[in-house]
Amino acid sequence: MEKMKQLYGKNREVSRLIIIIVLWLIFMMLTQAKKFYTGANFLTMAGQFPEYGLMALGVMLCMITGGIDLSVVGTANMASILAVFLLNGVFGTEGSMPMAFMPMIFLMAVALGIVVGSLNALLISRIKVPPILATLGVNQTLTGLCIVMTGGAAISSFPKEFSDTFSGALFGILPWRLVVFLVAAVIIWFMLERTTYGTKLRLYGTNPHVAEFSGINTNRLLFKTYISSAVCAALGGLMMLATYSSVRADYGTNYTMQSILIVVLGGVSPNGGKGKLSGVVTAIVLLKLIESGINRFRSVSTYYVTLIWGAVLLLALVLDYMGERPRKA
């Protein structure tokens, strides 16, 4: 018991989310057990969350620095559209793609991430533009370019080998999209907890000025962070391509707010300096469980999902507020 308490105290954000998850799972058990607790449903969920889950991972890194990345959706759509252009350019709209070409698509996504992330970081670190505005402007520009490239319409004729593969599952059970998410999550966990980058990132987020005086290469840190974020977003875009099997300039526009919501819910402070991967991953899972659960209720509009997300976010804030209030003023 004592140990449980300690664990709860140490990981308050995560523990709280897990409690909410358990309550929700019990609720679903009592009401929609047959529809919700099916293998197929869990597989679907596991296949769907990686697209915004990946974006949330990137936003998390940026928010730990005290910044934010609002360009994730623009980057994601740009990645998927570029992938389609690449495929159509090389193999033609009716052609087929050999599996050996697969890495090229990922390489392209990573390259895009590096370009976009560097641009964000350049504006933020060198020109000292507030991150919210820099990434907002970049997002707008990227979205604009996506519209120009696609003429605003959806493109769905291109070689489908990529999207077919990634909408499927490894050994028929582990969705490929989940695999990509897990790989990214493990890499980010390693960066945060097992390399000096994590310590530097959190210290920078606590106080950038002191970081400068301590000899941290703050510019390099910001480049690394915003590039990681953009690469995650670009991978998220590829996952979207797999899900929809088509591309459009305005897919996933909700994902910006959604990923910020996830990150905050996961216990990352928007003022920077604080945040753990475990919290964010738990928040991603929670949101997906709620969304999917609500969809099981025929009579409830799917639009209630956003309402519940907002309510959960406010609830987490209020719980935090009650927990942190000093006893004696």
Instruction: Find out whether 227 and 61 touch, Cβ atoms under 8 Å.
Output: no
> Closest approach of Cβ 90 to other proteins, in Å?
25
- Restricted to residues 20-39, the positions that interact with other proteins (CB under 8 A) are none
- Give yes or no for residue 136 binding other proteins (CB under 8 A): yes
- Restricted to residues 306-325, the positions that interact with other proteins (CB under 8 A) are 306-311, 313-314, 317-318, 321
- Restricted to residues 152-171, the positions that interact with other proteins (CB under 8 A) are 152
What backbone torsions phi and psi does residue 170 show, to the nearest 5 degrees?
-75, 135
> Closest approach of Cβ 194 to other proteins, in Å?
6
Instruction: Find out whether 84 and 155 touch, Cβ atoms under 8 Å.
Output: yes
Candidates 37-45, 47-55, 237-245, 257-265 — which segment interacts with other proteins by CB under 8 A?
257-265
- Give yes or no for residue 209 binding other proteins (CB under 8 A): yes
Instruction: Find out whether 123 and 56 touch, Cβ atoms under 8 Å.
Output: no
Q: Based on CB atoms, which residue is closest to other proteins, 37 or 190?
A: 190
- Give yes or no for residue 81 binding other proteins (CB under 8 A): no
DSSP annotation string for 4-23: HHHHHHHTHHHHHHHHHHHH
Q: Based on CB atoms, which residue is closest to other proteins, 114 or 129?
A: 129
Q: Based on CB atoms, which residue is closest to other proteins, 162 or 251?
A: 251
Closest CA to 139 of 248, 238, 249: 249
Candidates 18-26, 105-113, 212-220, 233-241 — which segment interacts with other proteins by CB under 8 A?
212-220
Distance CA 267, CA 221 (A): 22
Instruction: Find out whether 177 and 50 touch, Cβ atoms under 8 Å.
Output: yes
34 dihedral zone (left: phi>0; alpha: psi -120 to 50; beta): alpha
* 3-state SS class at 188: helix
Q: Based on CB atoms, which residue is closest to other proteins, 94 or 299?
A: 299
For the chain, give the number of residues: 329
- Give yes or no for residue 186 binding other proteins (CB under 8 A): no
Residues with Cβ within 8 Å of residue 290, at least 6 apart in sequence: 24, 305, 308, 309, 312
How many residues touch other proteins under the rule CB under 8 A: the total is: 69
Residues that bind other proteins in the complex, under the rule CB under 8 A:
70, 123, 127-130, 132-134, 136-145, 147-148, 151-152, 194-200, 202-203, 206-207, 209-217, 253, 257, 260-261, 264, 270-271, 273, 300-311, 313-314, 317-318, 321, 328
